[in-house]
Amino acid sequence: MEITELILQTMDEAGRPLKGGEIAESAGIDKKMVDKALKKLKDEGKIVSPKRCFYEPKRP
């Protein structure tokens, strides 16, 4: 599974906006890798930030 898919899955399972550190801890991956993937996902429009430093999947 690709890291971006893992991050999206982790966010879906949480059911609430998460910080990068929370995502890294839940998914069991390095925070630097999470930060890089979050930037990519945000640029692609797949996630949104409802408040500073928190992220959640974009809902249709």
Distance CA 39, CA 44 (A): 9
Domains of the chain: which residue ranges? 3-52
The string of pLDDT tens digits covering residues 3-60 is 999 999 999 999 999 999 999 999 999 999 999 999 999 999 999 999 999 999 998 8
Left (φ > 0), alpha (ψ -120 to 50) or beta: where does 34 sit? alpha
pLDDT of residue 60: 82
Identify which has the larger pLDDT, 1 or 27: 27
Contact 36, 9 (CB under 8 A): no
Contact 10, 23 (CB under 8 A): yes
The pTM for the full model equals 0.90
pLDDT of residue 59: 85
Taking the domain 3-52, which CATH number applies?
1.10.10
* Residue 42: closest CA among 10, 50, 32: 50
